[in-house]
Structure formats: structure tokens, C-alpha cells
Amino acid sequence: MINQPKLLTLLGTFLGISLGHFAYAQSDDLYTRDSTYTLTESPGNTHLLRLKKGYLLGDGITFISGKGNFNLSPSLQTLYAVNSINKNLSDPNAMFAINRARLNVFSNLFDNKISLNARINFAANHTSTTTGVRTFNPTLQEANIEYRPSRTHVFNFGLRADYVDGRETRIEGESLGFIDRSLISDAFDAIFDFGIRYKGNYRLGGSHLLKPYLSITTGDSRSALQKNFGGFKYGARLDYLPFDKFSRGGEFYMDDLYREEKPKLVVGVAYSYNDGATSAKGTNGGRWLYGDAEQNILLPKYSKLAADYLFKYNGFYSMGGFVITKAQVPDNIAGEFRLNGTFNPYSSTQTADQIKNTVLSRLNLGRGFNVQAGYLLQSNWAFGGRFSALKEDNVTATFADNDKAYTFVTTKYLSAHALKIQFELGYSQLRQSLKTSTQNGTYYSQIQFTIQL
């Protein structure tokens, strides 16, 4: 058993040595970019392939020709965490982990008209079929093609992070201001999905920008690479930027690394409707399949409404969002399909309301709220705090055993998001019905190293 003073001393020493080692690194000048940002050169009939000049950490390896460019960019995030579920912080558990280990492949062709993007996460966990996965690719995260007929319009085809989830999912894991996303993102965001998407960029006059997003996806996430089990998911997002675009892609990461000289703000609303949901929130398609008495598939409808914002000015940033989900269940469900494909009829003694509640109890239904803020010093030390809260519906999957979370983070940026160290302290509170005399939640501390080559 590790007592509290020893534990805190150990963590403090470890943090001090680790951060002190990098304290005198050069200030970063890396351009952190959205996945749509590209390196360009004048088109021509170049026959020889050459390397991009002026490498910066995080650029990856870029080959450039007259027809376009090709980029390979690996990244790695290593994590050490200590947590305790006891009020007196006794009996802590320690964990070492590879949080993310990715290889991103990106190519721009024909004067930026066409882009190809694929990403592999080698640290992805595979879940056994006995826990509810019919078909699932745990490693491939993104694989899509974008077509840009003009600067205003972009069409995307394939697997990628969805536009109609919360704003946190628009930010790559390596570019988060915290080690992980918030409770509401874990509860309600499917993140990856397969489908067709559109995004626009319209200037309304002066500094006002409007960005609409539309999508038609499977709603089954990466399971859809094998089969679309349910219906389709239809989504839309509308973002408004009243003070023009953020500097250097600042809309797509948290801390204000480039210290906006003028206030920048984006506010958005998003709505999605899945006309045949087969998993709790759209990440595990095919987990739950229902049928009528003739074994025709019947599935619930699942909808989500979200509103969010991101503000930055002179090193300060704030971000927040609200999500609410609802579902509708068909009246004539008579049973469900087992994972082996056989049909299991419900007992004739079950009422329609009982069947409906069974279906609803397997969906993430309720609402959530998240707000966070941070400040970046001139020395590239950043400090941030976050509060998240969840509220389950009466009949829902148990996604909110921990219904509130308080998180504090300190980050040393050595080369923007390409090289950084983060230290986080947090408390995740159990909902009232689960608290005991000795346990009311999880207390944790963790440190993460990030490098992108």
C-alpha cells in the first residue's frame, strides 16, 4: 500500500524531473493544421519527386511533385496514471499505457482538387464478439477522399471523424488541451463514421463567416466497413464565425498557441437523426438488432441535438457545449437477434412498454454539459480547467455512473502540439445512488508525453 504523502512526493518528483528537462527548449513555431490544410507548389510537368524543404517537428515526411504531394506523419502519446476510488486516496492503482500511436497518410493531387487521407491507430483496443461486436475494425480510424471543386465547397467520401458530433471531435487527439475528451464526448459522440459529407465556407460580408456541414452516414461507425446493419444517419451542422477565421487553424485545437491579436469566436449547432440505431451511440454497429414476429428487422430511431462554442483571445481560450439525445421505438418489436444471427423471441408475457424499455435501456439517452477554459503564458506553459456533467434519462444505457467530472491540466508546449508534456489532476464523481461511506468517485493524476514527427 502506498500512503498519500509518498504518492504525492513520487508524482511531484517525477513531474519536476520530466518538465525541468525540457524547460529550456526552443519556443515553437510549428503550424498546427486542420486535416484539410495542405502544402502547395505551382503545378507543372515535374518528373522528379523531391522532399519538402524546411522540416519542422510535426510536418512528417512530405514528397512533392508537379501533380501534388504525399505526406507520412507518425505520432505517439505515452501515458502514466495513478488513481484511487477511496476518499482517503488509499490503495491507489497505477497504469502505463500507449494512449495513441498513429500513422497518418495524406496526399494532395491536381492542384489541391483531390485529397486522400488514411490513418491507422496501432494502440486501438479490440473488443471480443462476446461483449457485443459483430464486425469491427479496431485499427483503421480514417480512410477518405475529398474533392474540392472550389474554395467554397468540399465533398468528402469515406470513413472519418463526423462533422455532426460535438466540437471536441473536430480536434485531433494529439491536439487536445487535456489528455482525453470530456464526459459528454465519451457519452454521446460516435466520432468515426462512414458516409458522404459536404462542407462549405461562405463569407457573409466583412468578417462574418458561415460554415454549413451536411452528412449522410451509416450510423454504424467502423462496423460499416463490413456491413451497414441499420438505417442511415442524417446530420447537419452550422457554424458561425462573427470575427473572421482563427489564426493558423486555431479553430481545430484548444489552447491559444498563437495568441489571437483580436477576439475570435465560433458558435455552432448540430443535429443528427439515425433512422435505425443498432448500438448505444453509433460506435458499435450491429450490437442490437430487433425484429417483428416474422423476423423482419425493426430498429429504434435515435436523434441528437448539440450546441457549442470556441473563443480565443490573447492566450486565453474557452470552449463549451451542450448535448441532448432522444429515441423512438417501433410498436411491433417481438424479439431480438443474437450475435450468432439466430432470433430470440420475447416472452408473450412481456408488455409493449416492457419491450420498449428494454430497447431504450440499450441507448445512451439523456443530456450533458461541458465547459472549459485555459490560458497560455508567454513561456508556453498553459493551464486549464474543465467541468463536465451528465444526466441520464430514466430508461437508458448506464453511461453516467460518473455524472460529474472536474479536471485541471498543466501543459508545457515545446513545439506546439508536435512535442508537449501534460500533467492532469481530476475527480470523477459517482452519481448519488452509487456513493458509499468510503467511495464517492475516482481521484486520479496522469502525465502524458506527445510527439509528432
Residues 43-98: pLDDT tens digits? Answer: 444 445 566 667 788 888 888 887 888 899 999 999 999 999 888 888 889 989 89
Confidence band for 23, pLDDT divided at 50, 70 and 90: very low
3-class DSSP assignment, residue 24: coil
Spell out the residues 6+ positions from residue 149 whose beta carbon is closer than 8 angstroms to its own: 113, 155
Amino acid (one-letter) located at 194: F
Q: Are 140 and 131 a contacting pair, CB within 8 Å? A: no
Domain that holds residue 241: 4-452
CB atoms within 10 A of CB 241: 22
Residues 92-132: pLDDT tens digits? Answer: 899 898 999 999 999 998 888 999 999 998 886 655 445 56
Average pLDDT over residues 10-21: 37
**CA quadruple 422, 142, 281, 324: dihedral, nearest 10:** 70
This prediction has a pTM of 0.84
Q: What is the pLDDT of residue 448?
A: 97
Lowest mean pLDDT among 58-62, 69-73, 226-230, 300-304: 226-230
d(CA 187, CA 194): 20
Q: Are 96 and 28 a contacting pair, CB within 8 Å? A: no
Q: For 353, what's the count of Cα atoms within 13 Å in the CB-facing half-sphere?
A: 0
Residues 366-390: pLDDT tens digits? Answer: 999 999 999 999 999 999 999 999 9
Q: Are 275 and 330 a contacting pair, CB within 8 Å? A: no
Q: For 329-365, where are the E strands, in sequence order?
A: 335-337, 343-345
Domain count, the chain: 1
The backbone torsions φ and ψ at residue 100, rounded to the nearest 5 degrees and listed phi first, read -145, 140
Share of the chain above pLDDT 70, in %: 85
Q: What does DSSP assign to residue 417?
A: B
Q: For 127, what's the count of Cα atoms within 13 Å in the CB-facing half-sphere?
A: 13
Q: List, in sequence order, the alpha helices (H) in 326-379.
A: 352-360
Say whether pLDDT at 34 is over 90.
no
d(CA 194, CA 181): 22
Inter-CA distances, 382 with 6, 183, 332, 375, 406, Å: 27, 22, 55, 6, 17
3-class DSSP assignment, residue 127: coil
Amino acid (one-letter) located at 338: R
Say whether pLDDT at 31 is over 60.
no
Average pLDDT over residues 161-175: 92
Higher pLDDT, 56 or 335: 335
Q: Cell 423471441 belongs to which residue?
A: 345
Higher pLDDT, 131 or 289: 289
Spell out the residues 6+ positions from residue 215 whose beta carbon is closer than 8 angstroms to its own: 162, 163, 164, 193, 195, 196, 197, 198, 233, 234, 235, 236, 272
What CATH number does residue 363 fall under?
Answer: 2.40.160.10
Q: What is the pLDDT of residue 44?
A: 47
